Chain A
């Protein structure tokens, strides 16, 4: 339980008085606090440095070394103190954790040493406060990366397929993560190969080959070997079409898939071929058809499925849209300004290239990007002055947003690598929180299961888990609530079971009935197998006055997921009685 929650427990127990008028049953006996109630100062000697603290401070975290009875192992009778042969500097931080409830990470300490100390004192590093958590995580990560031989992170999506997945899901997984199966890998490489082939073919078919016999002109290879290139193109397009259709079939959300960038690229890559097939050999449209062939170069973008870096680059450009926009805007502004100036400066010159302002745009762009083709040059002095200002400012304007884009790219690249790890960590953290919550609920249920409410004899006491005073009192509080409402806490498993089977319900007998039933647990040590709960009837106490003997039988409740318990000593009979009339209960005076 969290820090000072233990401090509030007495208050919650006192406030439980509010339940009493409504309670349907008699409240259970409170736990007897065996330990002395006076708070005392403990002396803790850590390698010679003496620390002093209240006992209550350490008791706040009963599942750590200092809060539990484990510290008794370190007790030194002669000097009446607890002696630890550990680092006193670190201990300061550990003790502060008990005092404040927040664990801080000292920046000057080595991360491994700190982790070791935490492990020794039984403190889980997850509770480090937010102020120091980032530093701790960063240092720990660096350390792990340094230690790890294999720096390549395990792909987070390389989880085994859930069973009973349809062929469609399997196909989609194969497409998204080619590493998962050999077939997928083969297909991945085959498509990659064909993309390369297609791109090379596109390039080569424009290279001039030796001319045909009887002709002087150099022919591009595409026209010489028309049939060969056509066959290769057809093969590639067939493969791409097949791949696209398969992806479309396997996609979990077809609309989303069709709108995604990669699928658009796929379509654009194969469309020209089909359009070319259906288009007639017409002079008018062949011009347009030729332009369509340009789109075939988009096949090169299909490589982005195969390359992580390319995807990141695309993502960077997308995320730097604002910077790029700013760059473009400022460039446009500068171009217009300088083009106007140059035009009017060079207006007087005869035979000038600066025929209009748009014509000057070309000069300005070439100058600002420091290209300087030299096809347009100013002749007047004013023109030369402004031309030089133009080139100087060009350098500045372009140089400014570029580092932003670069840093964005670097950040996104590293983020991408970290994102997978963080997702896994987040899952673990959530699971841990849920587990902690479940832990407290299960602790109570297990306590009941262990027959904690019966009068224990010394034999049984060994078996019961060593519970702290806090747990005693907390369980008593929960028990009181159960009595108030006359319902008991169970866990989800048994509850759903109950709903399904509609097993023996409870008997609400208003009349005072003494019913005793025997718990059935035939074997001495029940195995961890599927042992279903054996319900015993629960007779309620009558609220009418003069209630006499009330026999409360608790059910023997074993969950299938329960850990191995030493139930041998409890024996077969589980006759539990909490006897005594209400008047007798007043004997339990504090």
Chain B
């Protein structure tokens, strides 16, 4: 982190970009889990990040799981082989998919470790990320109430010829039948661009 801040002035490198994006995923997923009430709100604590007060889990198991995922993401982001991260929220009882948070990642594969840093201030990126997180928070205005206990699942889309690491398994896309999709804001580090979308079950309302 400190290292990154130091580089702040020079611009965005591939490693730094991967770091930023991975960090966003960490906070983003935490926010979703809190906002959507997947875990009891008591198990979250507040932290200041991106100029916002964000809630992150205090549950050790969840923490380690998420750290594990984010670590993996960081690596893949660095290699520019990840295409998409999806947070699937499904009912515990009938494992019906209720919500699907999708973060599409566009990697600039020309960016290499040794290539020159890109021109974009960290503040600008943070502002963009902040607006995304804010939107995630604001989605309660239209998302349906999750009436049953829910679990979440993380899907990561990578390039094809990737060996599935340990503790990971291949999975289907877990789409929602008859869904309403709302595109959220996106942000870019100039190397990675993240587009966010949330899909939810459509009401029977015509």
Q: Do A and B come from one complex?
A: no
- What residues make up the interface of B, taking CB atoms closer than 8 Å to A? none
